[in-house]
């Protein structure tokens, strides 16, 4: 009986711990955005200013996410705001990568 109680308490604790403070997909999206920024710099699709802006936006999103997680619960409104910010950053990054501007390469 004691083993069963201990096992159940671990399961409950694990479930509660894994649900609190999560923002599904946000960490993965941030990693994808960083990879896209790195790729844009490597190919010369992003200028220095566009790169700086993209990195700044990702930092802002990371700070907002940290604040949302600080109380242990990410509300639906906070999650929606994070998704909206990620969507906007992704759209801006795509627009900057596919515009006519190109960074000159050092020859």
The model's pLDDT over 42-58, given as tens digits with 9 standing for 90+, comes to 999 999 999 999 999 99
The model's pLDDT over 3-14, given as tens digits with 9 standing for 90+, comes to 666 665 667 656
CA distances from 93 to 6, 23, 39, 61, 84 (A): 49, 22, 11, 14, 14
CA 62 to chain centre: 6
> Which tokens hold the place of 4?
């069963």
The model's pLDDT over 73-92, given as tens digits with 9 standing for 90+, comes to 999 999 999 999 999 999 99
Q: Supply the pTM of this predicted model.
A: 0.72
Domain definitions of the chain by residue range:
2-97
CA distance 55 to 43: 17
CA distance 47 to 36: 14
Nearest Cα to 57, choosing from 33, 26, 24?
33
Residues 85-102, mean pLDDT to the nearest whole number:
93
Cβ atoms of 4 and 60 within 8 Å: the answer is: no
Per-residue pLDDT band for 26 (boundaries 50, 70, 90) equals: confident
């Amino acid at each position: 009986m004691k083993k069963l109680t201990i096992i159940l308490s671990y399961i409950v604790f694990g479930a509660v711990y894994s649900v609190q403070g999560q923002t599904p997909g946000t960490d993965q999206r941030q990693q994808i955005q960083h990879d896209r920024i790195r790729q844009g710099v490597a190919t010369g699709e992003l200028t220095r200013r566009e790169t700086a802006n993209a990195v700044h936006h990702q930092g802002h999103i990371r700070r907002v996410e940290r604040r949302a997680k600080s109380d242990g619960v990410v509300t639906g409104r906070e999650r929606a705001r994070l998704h909206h910010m990620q969507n906007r950053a992704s759209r801006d990054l795509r627009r900057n990568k596919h515009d006519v501007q190109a960074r000159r390469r050092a020859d």
